[in-house]
Amino acid sequence: MHESIYIAASAGIKQARKMEMIAQNLANVNNTGYKKDALVFKEMMPPFPPDSGFDAGKNALLSPDKSNKNVSYVGITDYYTDYTPGEFKKTGGALDLALDGEGFFKVQTPNGSRYTRNGNFRINTNNQLVNQNGSQVLDRTDQPVVIDAPGAITIDGGGNISAGNGLSNTQVGSIKLVRFENEKSLEKMGDGLYRQIESEDNELEAPETKMHQGFLENSNVTSVEEMTEMISTVRMFETYQKMIQSIDSMDDQSVNTIGRVG
């Protein structure tokens, strides 16, 4: 089979993967604190070193020893999350928090510690501050935040929690914020949660990040941009599809013509 078919098929597979990523971004456009994903494409020349780290991304379809060294394939060399902050949405909720700056809330789940930008919290029956799935929000000592005091709840920019009538407020706890030197060490786990794939020792303080009570952070997905990217991706996929059909048609004509001449 002509290698150009493998090259076009390889490129088509990359566009299909890009379409999956765009669909995921669009599906989460209204999810609080969601961060969009993106791919990085790169031209790759065979033979591909077996230890290049790109094996899962290139999906060249043709083994390197059978590939022409004068051609190039499309490879996916990086998959990353864009942590650009989203716009704030005012809710007025006393337990709704948005982060102005880098960093994450730390919560405790049945599967261990997780991190999130979704500050849509509530208080459970044990007076603990939890997210909408019931995971406990942690304080600066990695203990669940407990709000067990009467009166209105106030949370300042540093995450300090107080309760009272405004004249005699009582501080009842604080909310932990963490950041990471290498955000690529975070893995998405669903429900707006991230898992640290390295040691938790990599957690850093985020003193410059401020909390805003009564606000939530929208996702940083722009639906118009994603739809435009989707249309472009579909057109590229169709182009590679037509290339494969054209090459196959030329091969078919060549075989039939040679057969008649013979």
pLDDT tens digits for range 156-190: 999 999 998 867 788 899 999 999 988 888 999 98
Strand, helix or coil for residue 256: helix
Rounded Cα gap, residues 165 and 119, in angstroms: 24
What is the rounded average pLDDT of the residues 39-44? Answer: 77
**17, 58 in Cβ contact below 8 A?**
no
Angle among Cα 241, 246, 252 to the nearest 5 degrees reads 125
Global confidence as pTM: 0.80
pLDDT attached to residue 34: 95
Cis peptide before 47 (omega within 30 of 0): yes
pLDDT exceeds cutoff 80 at 102: yes
Q: What is the mean pLDDT of residues 138-145?
A: 95
How far CA 38 is from CA of 24, 41, 58, 252, in Å, comes to: 11, 10, 16, 39
Question: Which of the four pLDDT bands, split at 50, 70 and 90, describes residue 120?
Answer: very high
CA separation, residue 193 to residues 12, 114, 133, 252 (Å): 31, 6, 11, 52
Q: Which of 196-200, 236-240, 252-256 has the highest mean pLDDT?
A: 236-240
